[in-house]
């Protein structure tokens, strides 16, 4: 009996110790129980990371952020974690760029080819399962701390990065993760891309609000690379670069993987660049995707483009300290197939629909691309600047009203397409209305 009593006492002490470190009855781990201070200036990185790690060691649960602004540097996510940021609470990126550690080499991806040689993020996760970030609170990247406002020769102000490497190039960066949910919270002023999801499966992005308040460079919205089985719904994105991006990266992964089975619906997309961009230099295959019920206001509209590597020397990075790029048969040709847009209102001054291929690009196919039930207000006609290589065929525009604004001095450019169908497509000259912000 004495041994049993002794064991029970030790067990009770262990349980008490666990509760003292923030584990609630329902598997909730409050970061304030681990020492986090909501004053917006205390470095809470260690406390929040301890809450995340303790939750993971317990088999999973909810890490709760509540009751104020918590300053932090890089946080490493774990499997089976639900990071909940409650209304009125925020996770604020810290001001010292050196305290965001660079990514270490790992087997899941080729860190040396991280874009713009930037290897820092505010939230980072590799090879994780069942992770959620949710709530009605805010993640604030504080981009204003990492940029400077300058004036050009025409006395126009613009923002410039203080340094390309000493900055969190991605607010959230997930690689090789499965069963990811991002829901409800606000991403405010990320210092680079709001997110980069690379080689992830079964992703649900719902009711996110992304807001970049100033034209900070490279402020992408939702950026998906080589992901599969993704749904994006009911999001509002206001970005200072492309609002929604689909790519099929090759150099960053150990083997090329396609980006496929992506559904985007019921979203509002605003951008100082493209509302939707598909493809870029060195990309592989992107297929079986649908975009529907979207309101979009941007500088450019929908772009499917493969640029020449000569025009984009930083993507992927090259030069000292970077291995030679794989070329030739190691890279798959670019392909876009079965991608459909419908029920869209688009307002943009230039390039409402732009499908273009660089002269030196490797193409397998651009096939079965449709645009239906759209109202487009722009100064420019759509552009199809393609080449008769591979299978470039079956592009359909159906039931589309183009409201052409004054100032259009460009032609309707069509080249290199085998089978472009215009069905009930009208072009109407309209007067320009005063633009709302």
Which tens digit of pLDDT belongs to each residue from 351-395? Answer: 999 999 888 888 899 999 999 999 999 999 999 988 776 678 899
Confidence category of residue 113, pLDDT binned at 50, 70, 90:
confident
Q: CA 212, CA 210: separation in Å to the nearest integer?
A: 7
Instruction: Output the pLDDT for position 156.
Output: 87
366 or 432: which leads in pLDDT? 366
Residue-averaged pLDDT of the chain:
89
Per-residue buried b or exposed e for 238-275, using 16+ beta carbons within 10 Å of the residue's own CB: bbbbbbbbbbbbbbbbeebbbbbbbebbebbbbbbbbb
Instruction: Output the pLDDT for position 48.
Output: 98
Model confidence over 328-342: pLDDT tens digits?
556 788 999 999 999
Instruction: Output the pLDDT for position 154.
Output: 83
Q: CA 235, CA 247: separation in Å to the nearest integer?
A: 20
Model confidence over 288-330: pLDDT tens digits?
999 999 999 999 999 998 877 676 666 667 667 777 766 655 6
Confidence category of residue 145, pLDDT binned at 50, 70, 90:
very high
Q: What is the mean pLDDT of residues 423-430?
A: 95
Confidence category of residue 162, pLDDT binned at 50, 70, 90:
confident
Confidence category of residue 418, pLDDT binned at 50, 70, 90:
confident
* Number of C-beta neighbours around residue 355 at 10 A: 24
Q: Domain coordinates of the chain in residue numbers?
A: 25-429
Q: CA 388, CA 394: separation in Å to the nearest integer?
A: 13
Can you name the residues that pair with 337 across neighbouring β-strands? 287, 367
Of the listed ranges 24-28, 56-60, 183-187, 358-362, the least confidently predicted one is 24-28
Does residue 152 surpass a pLDDT of 90?
no
Confidence category of residue 20, pLDDT binned at 50, 70, 90:
very low
Q: What is the mean pLDDT of residues 25-49?
A: 95
- Tokens standing for 72? 């932090």
- The pTM score is 0.91
Instruction: Output the pLDDT for position 308.
Output: 73
- What CATH number was assigned to the domain covering residues 25-429? 2.160.20.10
């Amino acid at each position: 009996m004495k041994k049993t009593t002794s064991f029970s006492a030790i067990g009770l002490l262990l349980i008490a110790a666990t509760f003292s470190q923030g584990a609630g009855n329902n598997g909730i781990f409050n970061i304030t129980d681990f020492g986090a201070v909501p004053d917006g200036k205390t470095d809470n990185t260690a406390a929040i990371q301890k809450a995340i790690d303790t939750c993971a060691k317990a088999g999973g649960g909810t890490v709760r952020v509540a009751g104020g602004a918590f300053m932090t540097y890089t946080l490493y996510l774990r499997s089976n974690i639900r990071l909940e940021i409650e209304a009125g609470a925020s996770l604020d990126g810290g001001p010292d760029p050196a305290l965001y550690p660079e990514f270490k080499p790992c087997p899941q991806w080729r860190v040396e080819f991280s874009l713009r040689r930037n290897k820092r993020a505010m939230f980072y996760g590799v090879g994780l399962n069942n992770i959620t970030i949710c709530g009605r609170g805010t993640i604030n990247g504080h981009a204003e701390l990492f940029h400077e406002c300058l004036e050009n020769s025409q006395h126009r102000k613009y923002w410039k990065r203080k340094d390309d490497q000493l900055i969190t190039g991605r607010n959230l960066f997930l690689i090789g993760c499965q069963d990811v949910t991002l829901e409800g919270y606000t991403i405010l002023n990320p210092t680079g891309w709001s997110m980069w999801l690379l080689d992830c499966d079964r992703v649900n992005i719902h009711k996110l609000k992304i807001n970049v308040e100033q034209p900070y460079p490279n402020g992408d919205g939702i950026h998906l690379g080589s992901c599969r089985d993704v749904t994006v719904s009911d999001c509002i994105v206001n970005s200072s670069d492309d609002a929604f991006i689909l790519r099929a990266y090759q150099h960053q992964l150990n083997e090329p993987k396609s980006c496929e089975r992506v559904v985007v619906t019921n979203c509002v997309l605003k951008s100082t660049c493209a509302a939707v961009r598909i493809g870029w230099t060195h990309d592989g295959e992107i297929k079986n995707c649908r975009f529907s019920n979207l309101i979009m206001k941007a500088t450019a509209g929908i772009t499917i483009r493969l640029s020449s590597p000569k025009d984009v020397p930083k993507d992927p990075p090259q030069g000292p300290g970077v291995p030679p790029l794989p070329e030739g048969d190691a890279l798959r040709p670019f392909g876009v197939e079965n991608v459909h847009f419908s029920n869209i209102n688009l307002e943009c001054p230039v390039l409402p629909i732009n499908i273009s291929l660089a002269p030196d690009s490797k193409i397998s196919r651009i096939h079965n691309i449709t645009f239906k039930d759209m109202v487009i207000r722009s100064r420019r006609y759509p552009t199809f600047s393609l080449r008769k290589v591979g299978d470039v065929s079956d592009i359909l525009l159906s039931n589309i009203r183009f409201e052409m604004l004054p100032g259009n001095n460009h032609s309707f450019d069509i080249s290199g397409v085998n089978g472009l169908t215009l069905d009930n497509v009208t072009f109407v000259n309209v007067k320009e209305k005063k633009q709302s912000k």
